[in-house]
Structure 1
């Protein structure tokens, strides 16, 4: 694999949404837009009963924001638009009428942690450590914070945010509610995700839809909230501190 992609494949009533980028599965604007649209399409597709979100490759689930694109941002409007891409993906997952299972086979950083947090149920491999690195480059996990705090709690969220250069173990993620289970290999993870998704696909679709509504109760304001957070990040990405920090990734 070399070219970025976002694709939906349907197998036994399960919609597998897979994203890939050669830069450690980072998410530039184009990929974020495609991911949002694919989630919305799967939510409307009657052939899909349950959704699985996963990424290509073995050891990195998602490196978060594309640093190469962050470097190129020159106005607050551009910054807001970029970070709104993450807001739109999280809100698409939140409002999708179907349960979304996350399959995290490798490391998740920044927006990748946000993506995992926005799933309804998340399984991972023993390679799936997590890190919120935003503060170390002068920004902060503002857009994804509501999703991460909702899933893991304010204490774990603040601990990861402040220790921005530290990878936290899959066991930490499991103990704090992000992962339901951690598997010893990617192969056993794939088997567990497939088994669970296909089992759920045979349940009452109406019951699953109502259950999802219950899961996300109290988040109706996120459309506005996450856009406001995108403005904060869009402004901070133009700071001298952040520009200097990002130079090492050019």
Structure 2
């Protein structure tokens, strides 16, 4: 299947789905399209609540596109690439609508950042998480504020240092990334639908004001995530990172 980002509206719920044939990894064009779709949904009067989901049944998001990272040859290109995740997280943060995450499978790197940037996240028992960035010579700099905000600095540090380990969905629930964990995708989808449609009947103005409360103290994230993207954009040029990524390609 080709990569895509779609928006479907049902009962005042906007379902945003992204997909990439390589385990839902995120190249620049998909990141840009996802950010724009979230912005558009946020100002669409036909939508009261947003659900963020990915296609397929095994991986929610494998993070950044390794092939695109390998092709980076200068700091500015690196900055622009890692700014893609910054733009998506900031679009989610600024969105006027509550965003429910639907995580059906594994998340790596930036995928964990996307889950952390939702306002409420539901997952299956197969939704393990990993922050692998240190093992390839960079670090989860751009997504760190979102992840630390959701699970705390200690848990974020643990995952970052233990960079080659998948942490279980129960760990993610215990630390606050997931609110509930379900036995199958079918049960997950039913729970997401019930919650989203219930929230969509609530006062939209109240939901909008609560969204502001949830994200208090993050007004500096435009600059902060941009600074973090510059750090990653420099580190990705290292020989260590280039050689490591070639083994995974």
> Do the structures match in fold with TM over 0.5?
yes
State the superposition RMSD in angstroms.
Answer: 0.4
Aligned to 1:154: 153
Q: In structure 1, what is the Cα distance between the partners aligned to 2:10 and 2:236?
A: 41
Q: CA deviation at 1:249?
A: 2.7
> 2:36 is paired with a residue of what secondary structure?
helix
Unaligned runs of 5+ in 2: none
Tell me if structure 2 keeps the 8 A contact 1:68–1:249: no
Aligned to 2:18: 19
Is 1:183 equivalent to 2:182 in the alignment?
Answer: yes
Q: In structure 1, what is the Cα distance between the partners aligned to 2:248 and 2:66?
A: 7
Which residues of 2 match residues 60-71 of structure 1 at below 5 A? 60-71=59-70
Q: In structure 1, what is the Cα distance between the partners aligned to 2:136 and 2:247?
A: 11
Aligned to 1:37: 36
Q: In structure 2, what is the Cα distance between the partners aligned to 1:209 and 1:110?
A: 29
Q: In structure 2, what is the Cα distance between the partners aligned to 1:249 and 1:195?
A: 39
Aligned to 2:235: 236
Q: In structure 2, what is the Cα distance between the partners aligned to 1:8 and 1:111?
A: 21
Which residues of 2 match residues 88-167 of structure 1 at below 5 A? 88-167=87-166
Give me the TM-score of the superposition, normalised by structure 1. 0.99
Give me the TM-score of the superposition, normalised by structure 2. 1.00
Tell me if structure 2 keeps the 8 A contact 1:58–1:186: yes
Aligned to 1:171: 170
Q: In structure 1, what is the Cα distance between the partners aligned to 2:56 and 2:65?
A: 17
Q: In structure 1, what is the Cα distance between the partners aligned to 2:239 and 2:70?
A: 12
Deviant stretches of 4+, over 4 Å: none
After superposition, the C-alpha distances for 1:137-193 in whole angstroms (9 at most, x for unaligned) are: 000000000000000000100000000000000000000000000000000000000
Q: CA deviation at 1:247?
A: 1.0
Q: In structure 1, what is the Cα distance between the partners aligned to 2:142 and 2:211?
A: 22
Q: CA deviation at 1:19?
A: 0.2
Q: CA deviation at 1:59?
A: 1.0
Q: In structure 2, what is the Cα distance between the partners aligned to 1:198 and 1:207?
A: 16
> 2:149 is paired with a residue of what secondary structure?
helix
Is 1:247 equivalent to 2:246 in the alignment?
Answer: yes
Count of residues in Structure 1 that have an aligned counterpart in Structure 2: 249
Aligned to 1:3: 2
Aligned to 2:85: 86
Q: In structure 2, what is the Cα distance between the partners aligned to 1:7 and 1:156?
A: 33
Q: In structure 2, what is the Cα distance between the partners aligned to 1:23 and 1:154?
A: 30
Q: In structure 2, what is the Cα distance between the partners aligned to 1:193 and 1:149?
A: 24
Q: In structure 2, what is the Cα distance between the partners aligned to 1:213 and 1:243?
A: 40
